[in-house]
Structure formats: structure tokens, C-alpha cells
């Protein structure tokens, strides 16, 4: 099983990982899941190239290589596929990159597209009979009750900052720029609570006490099931356990459900990523983000923060209806909301989305999709001039990630945030991260004054939240490095 390396991106967290002495933020959950679907007699080895290199010994040992990747790993995936093929291995590939653009990979022998629960068994059966086809795909969506436990045993857990678990696939909403509904559908498919508890037990029994990311497209897609089934099971599971703080992705209507938020916090959730996109109602209508329209989005964010959930947010500029004032409006929104981790990108049109179809029809597709929506590039011609868009985008990033504004935002957030009752497990790596932050951020970096000011402020106002203040300062260090590289 081979997972190509990530470039240095917003979500790679490369610069932050150095503080905790980890190699990668998250494991390749797709490959761990696929590994569990292979014939039990097959010996399997995982090489996550974010953690270690593929060696000649690996190549001698293996007959067959399974690759997974996202578009953002396109070039490393191409390079490793060529190397595996040259070494005489049978090269099999699946996952988001190949679902979007398999034609471009000549060195791959077999593409197992879409969900492996449906497409892997026929491939394995044909392989056994000696007549495997080049492409296996499916227009159906898989029943997640059939998804096996990921093969945690293949991982060196110590190398990762966080583990991941998937509870649902699909999202009930249909934003025009998002390819999730094309990939995974609008009906929210779920695992059972028993499956999730078994996955968590698998991690806990292996000694994992770090954070766990529920990698759902929208965790609250089925609120009734959450409240009556999964969250009570997670609350019970957590009793007499330490660590394993959870985080996930959800839609803004989470703010409407106080009971759901309280149960999530009790179950150990401390963070949610929410697609806010834009404070402009007309642009929200343009992209069919109906769930965000006609709401007081800042009040929503604050309500979620007060419940004990830190909000991370995705923001987009470059909608057709964006006016020149949008850049300042985004800055004001981000600063006021106290969304410290604000992922701001230019509007891009991934293949398979309604936006892509519209751009194609209007002759506005202009480049290859980079796969990284925060790298300052876009594959579409914007309605406003490219220069104005780029300039405004740069202005947003310069502003929100400047030390002064970034640390101010952390204070805005900490003022609102209710400290979580479920705390992370203290590990040596955390102490080292603190010491490294004293040196790298508190002494060497440009924003050192703001760092100490924040810690002093937190000491007086919210001493229990000092760990959060340090973690967010480390994130800021990473974001500044990445943004500097992207908005040159
Ligand atoms: C977790 C996650 C992340 C993690 C990465 C974890 C990691 N190490 O891989 C983080 C937060 C870092 C991340 C970042 C990004 N992500 Co992301 N992420 C996800 C998310 C939410 C879940 C992925 C996951 O673990 N799924 C669970 C596993 C079980 O599913 P799976 O990987 O799809 O595997 C199944 C099949 O695809 C198949 N399969 C997969 N691999 C293989 C291999 C073989 C050989 C076979 C046979 C089958 C097979 O079988 C599996 C079982 O059915 C997905 C959305 C989604 N629901 O998939 C987006 C998603 C993968 N991310 C996406 C993107 C664009 C990004 C970012 C660029 C920015 C962003 N908008 O989030 C960055 C880039 C990464 C970087 N470091 O720079 C896109 C990728 C689109 C594409 N075509 O490439 C997705 C699909 C979301 C979307 N809306 O489009 N992401």
C-alpha cells in the first residue's frame, strides 16, 4: 500500500508537525480500509511516503502495489507509479485522484474507482481467474455496513499527529462547487455505532490517546441518529478513558441545535470545520449554499464556540457576484467571528461539479485543477479581473495571518470559547511542542511580541485555555509559512 507525499500546503501542517515531532497529520484511511478487504492470506505492508520512503527492499518484497491519492498528490503519485511499474510490480490505483483523472496514468495497470466496497471484489475475483480488466467503476453507492475495520496494525501510530475514523459518507446539501455529492451522493450513508466503537477500541487498545478526526463530509447529516444512537454510544465509550478528543466537519445548521452541540461536547468533540464560504447572501445563492443563507453567521459561529466547539472555517472569493468590497468584508467577518483557522481560497471548479459544467458551457475553464483550493490558483476565469481578484486575495491573507491580527483573533475566540470538559492526554510531545514554541515563535519569529502578549493575557483571563493558545500559535506559524509561499 503506497501513499504519495503531500506538497507543502495549508492542510499538510508540515511546519506545525515539527513542533510535535510527528511526520504526518493524518493516516491514509482509504488504504487502511482497502487493506482490510484484501484476501487474508495476502501479506500487506503500508508505506506512507509522508512518513518514510519506499525502499528497494520494499520493491523486492512486493508483487503488487496499491496506490491511493488526492489530486494535490498528482505529481508524486505519477512518479511513484512509474517507479513501481519499472520495478516490475502490478500497479493498482484508486481514490479521489484517480476517480477524477485516471486517463493520465499510463503506469497504472488497474484502476479500482469509486468505493472499493463495490469495485474491489470483482477485481480480486478477475485477478484470481487471470483476466483482470483495466478499469472497475460503479455508479452505485456502497452500503457502509459492509465497510471493514481499518487495518490499524499497518500503521506506526507514533508518526501521526491525529488518527481518522469515518462514520458517514455523502452530504444532504448540494453546493455547486463541491464534488462530494458527485463522488459520494446526497443520501447520508452511515456505519453503525457498533462499527464506530469497534474502530475506536482498535485505536485505544493500540495505545492511541491522541486526537481522532471523524472525516465525514457532514457529520450532522443525520441528526436524529446522532442524538439517539451514536452520541450516547460515544458518551458511554468515553467513560473511564483518557484522551481521544474528537473533531469533525459539519454544516452551519449545527448552531440551531443546542442539544446536539451539548451531546457532541459531552462525547468529546472539541472542533468542527464549517464551510462558511462568504458573508454575501447573493453569492451564497449563486453557489446554492442554501443552508448558509439569511442567517447571522457570526452569531451562529459564536453560539457553537460558546457550546465548547472551536470553529474552523472555509472561505471563498471569486464568485461571479463578488463586489470589490468583498475582500474587506471577508476580513471583517473572519476577525469578528474569531475563526482562527480560516482556510481562504479562490473559487475553483472541480470536475463533476455543477460549477464545472457551467464554466465549461461559458468557456471559462482556463487551467488544470491544482487540487489545492488554498494555493491562490484557479481553473476558471473570474467575473472580476484576475488581477483584482489576486490582489484582493493577497490582501485577505496578508491581513488575517499577520501576527497582530492572527493573535487578536485567537483572543476573540478564547473569550467566547467554553473550555472543553474532555481534555487531551498529556504526552511528552506536547511538552516538547511547548518548549519549541517558546524558542521558534517566542524568540526567533517576527511575531514574538504578540505570542508572549497572548500567553500573558491567557494567564489572566483563561488560564485553562493556555494549551489551546499555544496550539493555535503553532498553527499560525504554519499558516504564515504556507501563505507566504502561495501569495508571492
Ligand atoms: C480526511 C480528508 C482530508 C485529510 C487528509 C487525510 C489523509 N492523510 O489522507 C486532510 C484534512 C489533511 C485533507 C486535506 C485536503 N483535502 Co481532503 N478530504 C478528506 C476527506 C474528508 C475524507 C478522506 C478519507 O479519509 N475518507 C475515508 C476513506 C475510507 O475513503 P477514501 O479515501 O475515499 O477511500 C475509499 C475509496 O476512495 C477507495 N479507495 C481509496 N484509495 C484507494 C486505493 C486503492 C488501490 C483502491 C483499490 C481503492 C481506494 O476505497 C475506499 C473505500 O471505499 C475527503 C472527503 C471524502 N469523504 O472522501 C476529502 C477529500 C479527499 N479532500 C479533498 C481535498 C481537495 C483536500 C485539500 C486539497 C483541501 C480541502 N479542501 O480539504 C487538502 C489537500 C491535502 C493536503 N495535505 O494538502 C478532496 C479531494 C478531491 C480530489 N479529487 O482529489 C476530497 C474528496 C473532498 C472534496 N470535497 O472533494 N483532506
Q: Which protein residues touch ligand 1 with a CB less than 6 Å away? A: 6, 9, 11-12, 25-26, 28-31, 33-34, 66-68, 70-72, 92-97, 100, 112, 115-117, 120, 164, 166, 169, 178-180, 184, 215, 217, 371-373
Q: Give phi and psi for 211, each to the nearest 5.
A: -70, 155
Q: Do the bridges between strand 189-190 and strand 168-169 make them parallel or antiparallel, or are there none, so unpaired?
A: antiparallel
Hey, whose CA ends up nearest to atom 62 of ligand 1? 70
Q: Tell me if residue 144 falls in helix, strand or coil.
A: helix
Ligand 1: which of 108, 215, 249, 274 to mutate, judged by most atoms within 8 Å of the beta carbon?
A: 215
Walk along the chain (488 residues) and give the pLDDT tens digit of each residue.
Answer: 999 999 888 888 888 888 888 899 999 999 999 999 999 999 999 999 999 999 999 999 999 999 999 999 999 999 999 999 999 999 999 999 999 888 889 999 999 999 999 999 999 999 999 999 999 999 999 999 999 999 999 999 999 999 999 999 999 998 999 999 888 999 999 999 999 999 999 999 999 999 999 999 999 999 999 999 999 999 999 998 889 999 999 999 999 999 999 999 999 999 999 999 999 999 999 999 999 999 999 999 999 999 999 999 999 999 999 999 999 999 999 999 999 999 999 999 998 899 999 999 999 999 888 888 888 899 999 999 999 999 999 999 999 999 999 999 999 999 999 887 777 777 788 888 888 888 888 888 888 999 999 999 999 999 988 999 999 998 988 888 887 766 65
Q: Whose CA is nearest to atom 6 of ligand 1?
A: 26
- Kindly give the residue spans of alpha helices, DSSP state H, lying in 341-382: 354-361
Model pLDDT, residue 488: 56
Q: Separation of 10 CA from ligand 1 center, angstroms?
A: 15
Helices (H), 147-243: 180-184, 193-205, 223-225, 231-238
Report the pLDDT value the prediction gives residue 487, as an integer from 0 to 100: 61
pLDDT at position 10 is 81
248: CB partners within 8 A, 6+ apart: 213, 214, 215, 216, 219, 269, 271, 272, 273
* Dihedrals phi, psi of 8, to nearest 5 degrees: -80, 95
CA of 96 to the centre of ligand 1 (A): 6
* Pocket probe mutation, ligand 1, options 24, 36, 70, 100, max atoms within 8 Å of Cβ: 70
Angle among Cα 84, 27, 426 to the nearest 5 degrees reads 145
Q: 268 φ, ψ to 5°?
A: 110, 15
Provide the pairing of β-strand 110-112 with 135-136.
Answer: parallel
Residue 273 cell numbers, joined: 470545520
d(CA 203, CA 50): 20
Closest CA to 200 of 167, 224, 170: 167
| Nearest Cα residue to atom 5 of ligand 1 | 26
pLDDT tens-digit series, residues 2-15? 999 998 888 888 88
Q: Could you give phi then psi for residue 244, rounded to 5 degrees? A: 55, 55
Q: Quick check: 34 and 120 in contact, CB under 8 A?
A: yes
Instruction: State in Å: Cα 224 to ligand 1 middle.
Output: 26
Specify the pTM. 0.95
The answer to whether the CB of 26 falls within 8 A of the CB of 213 is: yes
CA of 69 to the centre of ligand 1 (A): 8
Q: Which grid coordinates belong to 235?
A: 458518551
Rounded distance between C-alpha atoms, residue 206 and residue 193, angstroms: 20
Per DSSP, the residues of 392-417 read: HHHHHHHHHTSHHHHHHHHHHHHHHP
How confident is the model at residue 445, as a pLDDT?
85
- What's the CA-to-centroid distance between 26 and ligand 1, angstroms? 11
| Ligand 1 centroid – CA 481 distance (Å) | 24
Ligand 1 centre to CA of 459 (Å) is: 39
Residue 367: how many CB atoms within 10 A of its CB? Answer: 11
Could you tell me if 404 and 450 are in contact, meaning their C-beta atoms sit under 8 angstroms apart? yes
Q: Distance between the two ends of the chain, CA-based, in angstroms? A: 36
- pLDDT (0 to 100) of residue 436: 87
Amino acid at each position: 500500500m503506497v501513499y504519495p507525499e503531500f506538497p507543502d500546503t495549508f492542510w499538510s501542517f508540515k511546519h506545525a508537525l515539527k513542533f510535535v515531532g510527528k511526520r504526518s497529520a493524518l493516516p491514509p484511511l482509504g488504504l487502511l480500509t482497502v487493506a482490510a478487504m484484501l484476501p487474508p492470506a495476502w501479506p500487506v505492508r503500508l508505506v506512507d511516503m509522508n512518513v518514510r520512503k519506499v525502499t528497494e527492499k520494499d520493491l523486492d518484497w512486493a508483487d503488487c502495489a496499491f496506490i491511493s491519492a488526492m489530486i494535490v498528490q498528482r505529481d508524486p503519485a505519477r512518479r511513484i507509479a512509474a517507479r513501481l511499474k519499472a520495478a516490475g510490480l502490478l500497479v493498482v490505483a484508486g481514490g479521489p485522484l484517480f476517480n477524477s483523472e485516471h486517463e493520465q496514468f499510463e503506469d497504472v495497470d488497474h484502476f479500482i474507482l469509486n468505493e472499493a466496497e463495490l469495485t474491489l471484489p470483482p477485481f480480486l475475483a478477475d485477478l484470481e481467474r487471470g483476466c483482470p480488466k483495466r478499469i472497475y467503476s460503479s455508479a452505485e453507492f456502497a452500503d457502509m455496513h459492509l465497510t471493514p475495520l481499518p487495518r490499524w496494525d499497518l500503521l506506526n501510530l507514533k508518526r501521526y499527529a491525529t488518527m481518522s475514523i469515518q462514520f458517514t459518507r455523502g452530504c444532504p446539501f448540494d453546493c455547486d462547487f463541491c464534488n462530494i455529492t458527485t463522488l459520494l451522493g446526497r443520501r447520508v450513508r452511515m456505519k453503525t455505532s457498533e462499527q464506530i466503537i469497534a474502530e475506536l477500541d482498535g485505536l485505544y487498545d493500540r495505545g492511541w490517546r491522541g486526537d481522532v478526526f471523524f472525516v465525514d463530509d457532514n457529520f450532522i447529516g443525520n441528526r436524529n441518529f446522532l442524538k439517539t444512537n451514536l452520541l450516547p454510544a460515544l458518551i458511554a465509550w468515553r467513560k473511564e478513558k483518557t484522551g481521544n478528543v474528537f473533531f469533525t466537519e459539519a454544516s452551519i445548521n449545527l448552531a440551531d441545535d443546542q442539544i446536539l452541540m451539548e451531546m457532541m461536547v459531552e462525547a468529546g468533540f472539541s472542533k468542527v470545520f464549517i464551510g462558511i464560504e462568504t458573508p454575501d447572501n447573493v453569492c451564497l445563492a449563486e453557489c446554492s449554499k442554501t443552508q448558509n443563507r439569511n442567517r447571522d453567521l457570526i452569531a451562529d459561529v459564536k453560539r457553537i464556540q460558546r457550546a465548547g466547539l472551536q470553529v474552523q472555517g472555509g472561505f471563498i472569493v471569486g464568485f461571479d457576484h463578488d463586489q470589490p468590497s468583498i475582500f474587506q468584508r471577508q476580513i471583517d467577518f473572519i476577525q469578528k467571528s474569531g475563526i482562527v483557522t480560516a482556510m481562504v481560497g479562490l473559487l475553483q471548479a472541480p470536475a463533476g461539479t455543477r460549477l464545472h459544467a457551467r464554466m465549461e458551457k461559458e468557456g471559462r475553464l482556463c487551467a488544470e485543477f491544482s487540487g489545492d483550493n488554498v494555493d491562490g490558483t484557479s481553473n476558471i476565469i473570474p467575473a472580476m479581473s484576475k488581477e483584482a481578484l489576486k490582489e484582493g486575495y493577497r490582501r485577505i491573507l496578508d491581513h488575517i495571518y499577520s501576527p497582530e491580527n492572527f493573535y487578536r483573533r485567537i483572543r476573540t475566540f478564547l473569550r467566547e470559547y467554553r473550555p472543553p470538559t474532555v481534555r487531551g492526554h498529556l504526552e511528552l510531545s506536547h511538552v516538547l511542542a511547548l518548549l519549541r514554541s517558546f524558542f521558534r515563535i517566542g524568540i526567533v519569529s517576527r511575531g514574538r511580541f504578540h505570542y508572549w502578549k497572548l500567553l500573558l493575557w491567557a494567564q489572566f483571563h483563561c488560564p485553562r485555555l493556555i494549551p489551546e493558545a499555544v496550539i493555535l500559535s503553532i498553527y499560525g506559524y504554519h499558516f504564515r509559512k504556507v501563505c507566504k509561499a502561495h501569495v508571492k
